[in-house]
Structure 1
């Protein structure tokens, strides 16, 4: 059966954080920022002893660590500048450390996977005055040029060079190596539908797959694209973690999209969970990009203004989203006649 995880961008979790997570019925924690782990700023990769200490503390609250994030591969690496070899070496070492700590899923971030920026963000006001992230193709007057084929292929060559190093390490340490789709899914971004195909064609390893972000993919093609991709990548066993959010509109259909509460967008979330169940997915459902409710306090990121990116104990929206997913999972279990819950 599927479980629930939430993303944090810090390792400095308080007892309040962990108690509230446990009370809400969260099962796992995903760590979204590679630089947050002790040791990364000092030596370039996590310290194993501190990592094990963190895992023991998380487990003492009845929770577990799920997805972690490797040190970033920055513009330095993507442009093959001095020091790029060290960045790749640090990522490879981080996989070894996470593997030794028994952590199952790592994500690698690549500079340039979300450019060019062709949309303008805006504050979307929704039901009852709730605030959500919106982006529109029509609001940006001076749009940058889309990278040409040569520039795209240069980016891809650096990506493949990194994965040629990282994939064997992930296999040796039995760690699942993932990427997240480009967010925003503008034209020219590498981790879209065709990019995902290209990755698993080039690296057909059982340890290579995706953090499948339903909201991001719906922004590119709506509900039908999401259902098709879940069916395709799910049957191949390439979905290792699911980010769940609802959206209104998409870039191809409306020239814009708005994130929405889980019950208030274009997607039928129960049908999505049912499709994940059909393809045998047994990983975590991670509700993300939380809508701001009245009186809420959320963890905002300037790259995704008006959207709560990371867990915050004072966020009403997190409580709503987790409860909604738990209810759907319980309904799915009842529908199938199986047991769900702690």
Structure 2
């Protein structure tokens, strides 16, 4: 197993790359599909620019691990006129990434998360560290769940997109990985049942997951995480792991808080043992890192107080990378390797 970090821009400085290299990062995951050169101009990445970026990253001893395709928006999900161009752009992007020998792509779909069904709050943890918290009970005016008919229409649009993306990924020797719905409220498309539905609908070895430990723990705690790793890992459907810890879960506490790797409910070494058992050999990505004193966080407006992507001199990321490297060393010793 190796370590990757997420960035949300392709405008990486030499300081960014130098610090990543010094910390022992192996791969880089690009979380913003619209950041690649060419997307704004023609709808999908420019191959020459991508190869230059790849060469620059490789010069620091790292490589590109996972990329994100241009977004599928609400217009496509509601089958509005002209929105088919979005799918064409994503299909072309898969081909470009395949030509660059990049092995994992992720497609975002608008509507896979039900915003407004829990209250986000600033969780203050040891020493004043800041993390994202969400509570169902604190929210007084909750949005209603979609109807079964609305959910099925949404799935129909998802299937329409994947029906073109999956064959293209297979032809391009690329794995297409879905991230679970975050926050995993009931009926969320990519909750536990939805993850099964993806591989039932598309039983192709190129179809799998960016398996997010934190998101899945939010839905069912450590037992669910261990069970899903065992199930999907045995099927070789886990392509990348978002390696993060949380406190609480929606079923048990009606709330959860993201936490540092050593400070949540999950025993991350046990999680690592399960990944080892099923033969996972991809990257571990320290995702959604709590904000430590002195950090300049890369926040997302949809997840306030959550440190989404890498920034130079970020203490939280440096801590998390070191923690994972120590766990991997312990795992090798434990396994006798």
Q: Report the 3-state secondary structure (helix = DSSP H, G, I; strand = E; otherwise coil) of the residue aligned with 1:305.
A: coil
SS of the residue corresponding to residue 11 of structure 2 reads coil
Cα pair 1:11 1:37 within 8 Å, conserved: yes
- Post-superposition Cα deviations, 1:41-86, rounded to whole Å, max 9, x if no partner, equal 0000000000001000000000000000000000110011122110
Q: Match of 1:143, SS? A: coil
Q: Once the two structures are superposed, what CA deviation does each residue of 1:197-240 show, in whole Å capped at 9, x if it has no partner? A: 00100100010000000000000000000000000000010000
Asked if 1:181 is matched to 2:180, the reply is: yes
Checking the alignment, whether the CA contact within 8 Å between 1:116 and 1:186 is kept in structure 2 is: no
Superposition map of 1:260-339 within 5 A: 260-338=259-337
Q: How many residues align?
A: 337
SS of 1:267's equivalent in the other structure is coil
Question: Which residue of 2 is the match for residue 84 of structure 1?
Answer: 83
Distance in 2 (alpha carbons) for counterparts of 1:83 and 1:289: 35
Q: Report the alpha carbon displacement of residue 297 of structure 1 after superposing the two structures with TM.
A: 1.6
Where 1:299 maps in the other structure, the secondary structure is coil
Alignment of 1:220-235 (within 5 A): 220-235=219-234
Deviates more, 1:108-117 or 1:170-179: 108-117
CA displacement, residues 120-179 of structure 1 (integer Å, 9 cap, x when unaligned): 000101111111110000111111110010000000000001011111100101100111
Query: Counterpart in 1 of 2:126?
Result: 127
Counterpart in the other structure of 2:26: 27
The alignment status of 1:105 with 2:104, answered yes or no, reads yes
Residue 188 of structure 1 deviates from its aligned partner by 2.3
> Does the 8 A contact of 1:132 with 1:306 survive in 2?
yes
Q: Please tell me whether the aligned partners of residues 298 and 314 of structure 1 are also in contact (alpha carbons under 8 angstroms).
A: no
Structure-1 separation of matches of 2:18 and 2:167: 38
8 A Cα contact 1:70 1:94, kept in partner: yes
Which 4+ runs in 1 deviate beyond 3 A?
none
CA RMSD of aligned residues (A): 0.7
SS class of match (2:305): strand
Matches within 5 A, 1:75-224: 75-224=74-223
1:254 deviation in Å? 0.1
TM-score w.r.t. length of structure 2? 0.99
TM-score normalised to the size of structure 1? 0.98
1:246 aligned residue = 245
Q: Which residue of 1 aligns with 2:7?
A: 8
Structure 1 contact 116–188 (Cα < 8 Å) conserved: no
Unmatched tracts of structure 1, length 5 or more: none
Partner of 2:64: 65
8 Å CA contact retained: 1:114, 1:182: yes
Q: CA deviation at 1:116?
A: 4.4
CA distance in 2, matches of 1:269, 1:321: 12
Partner SS state of residue 4, structure 1: strand
The separation in 1 between residues aligned to 2:307 and 2:107, in whole angstroms, is: 21
How far the C-alpha of 1:246 sits from its partner, in A, is 0.6
Any unmatched runs of 5+ in structure 2?
A: none
Distance apart, 1:117 and its partner CA: 2.8
Distance 2:65 2:158 in 1: 24
Q: What does the per-residue CA deviation read over 1:12-31, in whole Å, with 9 as the maximum and x for residues that have no partner?
A: 00000000000000000000
